[in-house]
A = this chain, B = another copy of it.
Amino acid sequence: MNKIYKPNRTDWNEILKRPTQTIDAIEDIVNDIFKEVKKDGDAILRKYTQQFDGVSLDDLLVSALEVEEARTLVSDNLKTAIRLAKSNIETFHKAQITDRVEIETTSGVLCWQEKRPIQKVGLYIPGGTAPLFSTILMLAIPANIAGCKEIVLCSPPDKEGKLNPAILYTAQLCGVSQIFKVGGIQAIAGMTFGTESIPQVYKIFGPGNQFVTVAKQIATKYGVAIDMPAGPSELLVVADDTADAAFVASDLLSQAEHGTDSQVILVSTSEKMIDAVELEVEKQIKDLPRKKIARKAIENSKLIYVEDDGTAIDLINVYGPEHYIICSKNEDFYIDNTFNAGSVFIGNYTPESAGDYASGTNHTLPTNGYAKQYSGVNLDSFMKSMTFQKITEKGIEKIGNAIEVMAEAEGLQAHKNAITLRLNSLK
């Protein structure tokens, strides 16, 4: 682990640099597959499912029978856990429902703002070694609360042409409308254009490898919205002597096991804590099944000693961490002064994994410093705000002249006429 003592502010950007991703090289591949899917639909989805997932499928849609079978394959223990998580996530996201905002800005000029659901959304769930059913909870639950009419899910099949039972069980539990056995670039392209089997959607959510990430970015060119741009997952812990070194180490490792490019940072005002965490990481890492991955991420991790909380908070705001644990006697100072972070975990008994699975907050969060300008996924991510106005005759008499003057000053005479005609009709 890299220990850094009192770094100069001028060096912060260099120290906090994320690994650069080379997107340009992938773009051509993605563009080509998009063009193919747009033209030939399902046939192309099948072709790439054969090529990348090694299985030939007649039907891309998961059948009711398969879903039923999956239900019998998931252990009761896991079902109970998933249902508890669902309940908490539902509670938190239902609390985010907002009333319409309505106000008379001038007497006779009534304006209101309402949020309405995005009608068709697509969820992407990666395949591979870990079946990320928890991400289905994080996406399908708010989509349902928002009232999205069509919730489509795509995930790559295994070599037997199956999806993991936990994925099917969770998708069904959370009200996903249709589940498709297709992954990668071709899945994103399918939801972008629509094919014979996959419906076209208006917004695509969910994580993925660099191919999926670039595919989502390309999808925006074709008018589809995405949840947010994605980069490797990351955790920053700020800890003083009130923290528990073993707990902190376990949190850093839970981030590190995600991938070799995971970002792990400890900021501390205590040299003692830094040394203790370093020892604990060494101790705990040995028994991890994914220790090879974790070891690599830990090699690039940073333990940064700063002299005071003020310096720490400035550094944290420059970084803008996705996950952010605060274990400090001055926790309120950190809570109040953090402007850039995705999800914040406060105190010794609030590990990141709580938010990953079951506290109720969403785990789809801005990485790569995007916490500076992007929200994590929340209920509003599945809605859009619309505004309404209704003006009475009295109301237009009040604001009409101002509009005429401004329209004229902007050289837009027809805009002015629309007012003048109405004002004249009231004379």
- How far does the Cβ of A372 sit from chain B's closest Cβ, in whole Å? 5
Name the B residues within 8 Å of A229 (CB-CB): 220, 223
Option from B166, B392, B403 in Cβ contact (under 8 Å) with A409: B166
Q: Could you say which residues of chain B place their CB within 8 Å of the CB of A91?
A: 103, 105
**A241 interface residue (CB < 8 Å to B):** no
- Which of A106, A217, A246, A358 has the largest number of chain B CB atoms within 10 A? A358
- Contact A384-B374, Cβ < 8 Å, known A357-B403, A406-B358: yes
Closest B residue to A372 using CB positions:
B202
Q: Are B353 and A81 in contact (CB under 8 A)?
A: no
A85 to B406, Cβ gap below 8 A? yes
A253→B416 CA distance, assembly (Å): 11
A387 to chain B, nearest CB (A): 4
Evaluate contact between A223 and B82: CB separation under 8 angstroms. no
- Asked whether, in the complex, the Cβ of A414 is within 8 Å of the Cβ of B254, the reply is yes
Chain B CB within 10 Å, residue with most, of A82, A129, A412: A412
Partner of A414 from the list B85, B111, B257, B361 (CB cut-off 8 Å) is: B257
- In chain A, positions 386-427 with a C-beta closer than 8 Å to chain B are 386-393, 395-396, 399, 401-403, 405-407, 409-419, 421-422, 425
Q: For the complex, is A152 an interface residue (Cβ under 8 Å from B)?
A: no
- Contact residues of A with B, CB < 8 Å? 23, 77-78, 80-82, 84-85, 87-89, 91-92, 95-96, 98, 101-103, 105-106, 109, 111, 113, 116-119, 129-134, 166, 202-203, 217, 220-221, 223-225, 229, 244, 246-247, 250-251, 253-254, 256-258, 284, 288-290, 294, 317, 335, 338-362, 366, 368-376, 378, 380, 384-393, 395-396, 399, 401-403, 405-407, 409-419, 421-422, 425
